[in-house]
A and B are shown apart, each in its own frame.
Chain A
Amino acid sequence: MENIIDVQNLKKEFKSYSSRQGLKGAFRDLFTRNYTIKTAVDDISFSIKRGEMVGYIGENGAGKSTSIKMLTGILTPTDGKIVVNGMNPHKEREKFVKTIGVVFGQRSQLWWDIAVQESFRLLKKIYNVPDQQYEEHMKDVIETLDIGPLLDKPVRKLSLGQRMRCELAAALIHNPPLLFLDEPTIGLDVLVKLKIREFLKRINEKYGTTILLTTHDLSDIEALCERVVMLDEGKIIYDGPLKELRENWAEGKQIQFQFSEKATLEELQNLTKDHLVVWEQGESDLIWIASVDSDETVISGVIGKVTAVKKIADLKILEISTEEIIRNIYVEGAVRHG
């Protein structure tokens, strides 16, 4: 399958000015200013195929938004090559942006003071969408996102969740083959999140829409994306399947015991001395957590030995969450390859 996004050695540097100290410094700043060059995106290369849903993750300031802005033609790269939908986003901006849809979770693209449907109507004219195509496609979108009753309200009267659903619909008026979502679920409640995820899956299946998604909410990524690209300090530190990331990093499980009587570390270590177990105290001295390898005999062995001696009130087997995995990766700074 062909590549819909192709990025090679992409680089973006910003000049950032710093102010000198004190009154004397402020006067000197009037004439000459100190600046440092900051590299926001440092030599990244990747490609995305048609129909993929890719999660683009990284800490604040890792360069996610900057690279999205270069991919959508808003910013010019300092260096490197970008081809999206067969075009150079910055050079052929007007023609190019007709082939993409963009949602910035933190900014509205609807007109604040007028009814949602008026915004839609204007966007329809802007993108030159024929009436028939608009009717068919938007009827479906409006139904799935359940925004029919909101259409005649001005945007400023909508709640965040309502607005975000309208934003998504607005980004899809011209049914673009490629959709950029920059933190689309920021600040939304679980129900709206679920609805948006379902909707994204649906358009991906129905129209083969390629989706590039940045978010801080990893459950979004888990629900939608098979592939993740992870950025740190402007560099790609991981690019591959989410599954592999989990397998390489989530070694082992945690067993959480809640005893009905006090337990001590020594006692527990004694009980499980045949296995490789790390005991940790939980929130109280009744709760203890055993970290073990993800091996069936070890898990059942530990549980068997402990429960044979001590009375327990509750027992949980926890898998290490993606969030924890990502946190570990950032702490260590690089991805181990398994």
Chain B
Amino acid sequence: MGKYIEMIRIRFLMMLAYRTNYYSGILIYSINIGAYYFLWSAIYGGKENIQGLSITQMTTYIAVAWMARAFYFNNIDREIAMEIKEGKVAIEMVRPYPYLNMKMMQGLGEGIFRLLFFSVPGMVIVALVFPVELSANAGTWIYFFISIGFSFIINTQINLLAGIATFFLFNNDGLIRAKRVVIDLFSGLILPLSFYPMWAQNIMSYLPFQGISYIPSMIFTEGFKGSQVFEALINQAVWSAILIIPVYVLWILAKRQLVVQGG
């Protein structure tokens, strides 16, 4: 366990080593939230609510979705791809730890760093500028944090899958980029899933993506009520468990396939 905590600490240090990234990140997220806020104000145009969400709920939804993204989002797919391409994976294989777990911990270190030094201050600024409604209900906050925990797990597992695919494809920048668009679109980051046509909603309910952004945001904005919250959390938990299987299968195949490039 000690090594995982140490790895999270190292990630903190690495994030601090690149301060410019950190500041520009805050700026980019604020611009994104602002842009979506004005877009949605125009769409609402005086209407009380659309698809059961009021304009305040919508703004909160957008703000929370982006702030949660700071936590669950990570680049470990790209990192794995790079390590494989540059042959650095050889170094990882001579270390006595499970590679995938360690990668996940690196992602977690990055996520916690962003949550604390990025989302929290960012949320304060956003709450001052835009009409965001923060729930006073302690239960909502607890469910929300459980939910973004699952978001992180699901998103990271998908990232691992995309990263490991490099073992077979050698160059999978395209796949990684496509994966990112799919997640942004199908997870409800850009548009709440309740805005999609019924048939699309039906398909998406069979996919893991809604567990990444839509569920935590709906919990936070109290768009889900009562048993809906539990159903949503169970949905996330089930997907977190199911995705372990393809990750492990692919990893075992990948190790067999391993060709260390160069040198």
Contact = CB atoms under 8 A, between A and B. Distances in A.
A319 B73 CA distance: 64
A182 B259 CA distance: 17
Interface in B150-208: none
Interface residues of A, number: 32
A328 B112 CA distance: 60
B258 A113 contact: no
B17 A154 contact: yes
A107 B96 contact: no
A125 B262 CA distance: 29
A93 B93 contact: yes
B10 A122 contact: yes
A108 B59 CA distance: 46
B95 interface: yes
B79 interface: no
Interface stretch (B25-33, B38-46, B83-91, B220-228): B83-91
A94 B96 contact: yes
A72 interface: yes
Given A100-B94, A122-B10, A127-B96, A69 B17 contact: no
B260 interface: yes
Nearest to B257: A76
Contacts of A106: 262-263
Interface string A45-84: 0000000000000000000010001001111100000000
Contacts of B47: none
A104 interface: yes
Range, interface on chain B: 20 to 34
Contact of A125 (B3, B91, B263): B3
Contacts of B86: 107
Given A114-B13, A114-B17, A182-B263, A74 B94 contact: yes
Contacts of B3: 122, 125-126, 128
B6 A97 contact: no
Interface in B1-55: 2-3, 5-7, 10, 13-14, 17-18
A117 B18 CA distance: 19
Given A76-B256, A113-B14, A126-B3, A98 B96 contact: yes
A107 B10 contact: no
Contacts of A104: 90-91, 263
A104 to B, nearest CB: 7
A65 B263 contact: yes
Contacts of B88: 107
B94 A125 contact: no
A118 interface: yes
A107 B2 CA distance: 26
A65 B258 CA distance: 14
12 contacts: A72-B94, A95-B96, A97-B93, A97-B94, A97-B95, A102-B94, A107-B90, A113-B17, A118-B13, A122-B3, A122-B6, A125-B2
Given A72-B93, A182-B263, 4 more contacts: A14-B259, A94-B98, A114-B13, A126-B6
